[in-house]
Amino acid sequence: ARRKADTTMIIQTIRMKSVTAEGMGTLSVFEAEHDVPFAIKRIYYIHNVPAGVQRGGHAHKKLRQLLWCPYGKILIKLDDGFEKAEVLLDSPDKGLIVESNMWRDMLWQQENSVLCVAADSFYDADDYIRDYEAFLRHVGAEDPAKE
Ligand code: TYD
């Protein structure tokens, strides 16, 4: 496989500002463009997922997203075609920026975990790459066996 320029994969996580009221819980907040490096056009959330289920299995050509888990424990597996990394979302104040051209799988590690996503664009089915080999070609990281 061709090697990417000599860089390591940058995984950008953010900590939401959190305000705890003694004995009354915590408020966590982030602001588009200030705490997240883009304007937000769409928010969606994935729920009612049994533990042990894996979703995702795709990349986006352009879409940029912030993922966070307000309740539960979800393992996010990222792959830029050259390197892989994992981030465990296990705290309501932890956010993960997923840039475009990242293959992602999300593994539900705890029943009733909720995955929230803030995205910089409206839904566009044409922005998805759902075939892993096509993804590798798209990012210039073809399978060496095929070269
Ligand atoms: P998908 O992005 O494949 O979810 P996951 O990565 O968690 O498996 O989306 C699941 C389905 O929902 C798919 O049929 C597309 C649809 N969908 C919308 O209609 N609008 C949206 O904004 C999103 C994110 C998905």
pLDDT tens, N- to C-terminus, the chain (147 residues):
566 766 788 899 999 999 999 999 999 999 999 999 999 999 999 999 999 999 999 999 999 999 999 999 999 999 999 999 999 999 999 999 999 999 999 999 999 999 999 999 999 999 999 999 999 999 999 866 655
**45: CA distance to ligand 1 center in Å?**
10
For residue 136, CA distances in Å to 7, 10, 73, 114, 139 come to 17, 18, 29, 29, 5
Give 64-85 pLDDT, tens digit per residue.
Answer: 999 999 999 999 999 999 999 9
Q: For ligand 1, pick from 48, 55, 121, 128 the residue to mutate: most ligand atoms within 8 Å of CB.
A: 55
* Ligand 1 surroundings by CB, under 6 angstroms: 42, 44, 46, 55-56, 58, 123
Query: What's the Cα-to-Cα distance from 22 to each of 27, 92, 93, 127, rounded to whole Å?
Result: 12, 18, 17, 45
